[in-house]
Amino acid sequence: MATFLPDDVPMTRNTQDTQDTQDTAIGAGEPGPPPDPRPRLERSLRTAAEVMDHLREDNAALPSPCGEWNALDVARHLVAVADRITALGQGRDPNPLPTMAEGLEPADCSPALDSATGRALEAWADDSVLGAMVTVPWGRVPGAVAAAIYSAEVLVHTWDLARALGVEPSWSTDDLEAALGDVMRGLPPEPRGGEIPFGPPTEVGTDATAADRLAAWAGRSV
């Protein structure tokens, strides 16, 4: 399976470790190119897999913070999102693809996500994908932008699933902060609803975690 993470770096990271790696990569504070979004995308998918491993028959129907979806619905959606990420890396339009991997039973979801993640990483292995224009639901953007936005989407829905299942995954705080910056730029607080499938941002305390602040901006009740 393709990977964008160094062999000696765990799949999920704490803030300082991630920042150290980024500083080394771009020259410790010196001007340089923006960081490659693919490691962040991969870590997001790995964190989703960590949470999905807790999905079982006896908790699949638990409600989630994502509208009327239950835990199984969110898990099926995450598999579908990984398939859309694959399509983007292959230069295909993901819009015709389903938004949910219908028919998956709880025991099927983790293996399905693992397989979909493998296909996604292979599809994004060529560096040229980052500069290629790709089709997303809101238009055409460079591949690097799409990778960053889909990383944020995966993290938001991973939060949904974690809340539904009562799981606290090994979040990368730096990835969450980067995702929050992306969605705050790309998803204004108004308008929401209708064609924009997010509720208005919700209030969080000053001591809220990065994961909760990201979820709140996406309209979740934290």
For residue 8, being part of any structural domain is answered with no
- Span 66-124, pLDDT tens digits: 999 999 999 999 999 999 999 999 999 999 999 999 999 999 999 999 999 999 999 99
> Can you give the pLDDT at residue 194?
64
Is residue 13, in this structure, part of any structural domain at all?
A: no
User: Is 26 domain-assigned?
Assistant: no
- The answer as to whether 23 is a domain residue is no
Alpha-helix residue ranges (DSSP H) falling in 53-105: 71-89
Tell me whether residue 14 is in a domain: no
Domain span at residue 66? 36-188+197-217
Domain total in the chain: 1
Name the DSSP class of 128: G
pTM: 0.85
Tell me, what amino acid is at 123?
A
Q: What pLDDT was estimated at residue 8?
A: 46
Q: What is the Cα 162 distance to its own chain's centre?
A: 13
Distances (CA, A) of 149 to 25, 113, 143: 21, 19, 10
Q: Does the pLDDT of residue 145 top 70, yes or no?
A: yes
Q: CATH code at 156?
A: 1.20.120.450
Task: Look at residue 12 and tell me if it is in a domain.
Answer: no
Q: Does residue 137 carry a pLDDT above 90?
A: no
**27 lies in some domain:** no
Alpha carbons 153 and 106: distance in angstroms, whole number? 21
Judge whether 76 lies within some domain: yes
